[in-house]
């Protein structure tokens, strides 16, 4: 059985930036529905024994498994999105991440502008990611719908934001740019991104 992972914070912990109502619906209904659908689609098959990332990669290579891919990727993407959020988060990162952002984006202000423009510019549903490429360079990329960098494993995600309307419509209606400002200034979990960067840097150094 694939499980709905617990939220890494209380449902009211992101108020006033993300309301209890948004989390109740986004986590309790949307995210849960993806988990339930993956269990329904894999029940009684060998796929049920795979770990989630292996399942996503297998489904991504099989054009007959698009529904399974979409739902499994959405389970993983949401787990990663919740961890990308923190009460009292946002603002400029420090440490190694600040150095890499300086090197690869020419400073935090450029990073912030590019991230926001990329997220706002994603037409329709999807995500905006900060990833570390195989060359060790940090990049910002948007993906559509359930698409996820882990499907091919080339770029390693450090951080994401969900730009599906269900992520922000109750709190910000059509104002995606305001949701992005709030994400960047109040919600980004830099400690999570930094831990992800440290892990990928270690793996790349060992390779």
Tell me the closest approach of the beta carbon of residue 4 to Mn ion, in angstroms.
Answer: 13
For residues 37 and 100, which CB has a smaller minimum distance to Mn ion in the complex?
37
Interacting residues with Mn ion between 140 and 199 (CB under 5 A):
162, 164, 167
Tell me the closest approach of the beta carbon of residue 27 to Mn ion, in angstroms.
Answer: 9
Closest residue (Cβ) to Mn ion? 162
For residues 79 and 162, which CB has a smaller minimum distance to Mn ion in the complex?
162
How many Å apart are CA 205 and CA 58, to the nearest integer?
27
Tell me the closest approach of the beta carbon of residue 198 to Mn ion, in angstroms.
Answer: 27
How many Å apart are CA 145 and CA 162, to the nearest integer?
10
Handedness of CA 165, 123, 139, 156 (dihedral sign): positive
Pairing of strands 138-144, 156-162: unpaired
Tell me the closest approach of the beta carbon of residue 35 to Mn ion, in angstroms.
Answer: 13
Tell me the closest approach of the beta carbon of residue 25 to Mn ion, in angstroms.
Answer: 10
How many Å apart are CA 72 and CA 145, to the nearest integer?
12
For residues 2 and 164, which CB has a smaller minimum distance to Mn ion in the complex?
164
How many Å apart are CA 146 and CA 137, to the nearest integer?
24
For residues 22 and 116, which CB has a smaller minimum distance to Mn ion in the complex?
22
For residues 164 and 192, which CB has a smaller minimum distance to Mn ion in the complex?
164
- Written as six digits, the tokens of 119 are 């997220």
Handedness of CA 72, 147, 162, 166 (dihedral sign): negative
The residues that touch Mn ion, with contacts defined as CB under 5 A, are 162, 164, 167
């Amino acid at each position: 059985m694939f499980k709905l992972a617990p939220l890494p914070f209380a449902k009211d912990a992101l108020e006033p930036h993300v309301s209890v109502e948004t989390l109740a619906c986004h986590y309790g209904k949307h995210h849960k529905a993806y988990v339930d659908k993956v269990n329904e689609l894999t029940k009684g098959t060998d796929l049920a024994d795979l770990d989630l990332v292996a399942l996503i990669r297998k489904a991504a290579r099989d054009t007959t498994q698009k529904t399974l891919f979409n739902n499994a990727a959405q389970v993983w993407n949401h787990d990663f999105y919740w961890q990308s959020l923190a009460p009292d988060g946002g603002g400029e990162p420090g440490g190694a991440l600040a150095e890499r952002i300086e090197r690869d984006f020419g400073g935090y202000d450029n990073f912030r502008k590019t991230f926001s423009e990329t997220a706002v510019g994603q037409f329709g549903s999807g995500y905006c990611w900060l990833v570390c490429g195989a060359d060790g360079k940090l990049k910002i990329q948007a993906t559509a719908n359930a698409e996820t960098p882990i499907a091919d494993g080339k770029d390693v995600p450090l951080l994401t934001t969900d730009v599906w309307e269900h992520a922000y419509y109750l709190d910000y209606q059509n104002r995606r740019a305001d949701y992005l400002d709030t994400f960047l200034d109040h919600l980004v979990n830099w400690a999570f991104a930094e831990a992800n960067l440290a892990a990928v840097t270690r793996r790349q150094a060992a390779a």
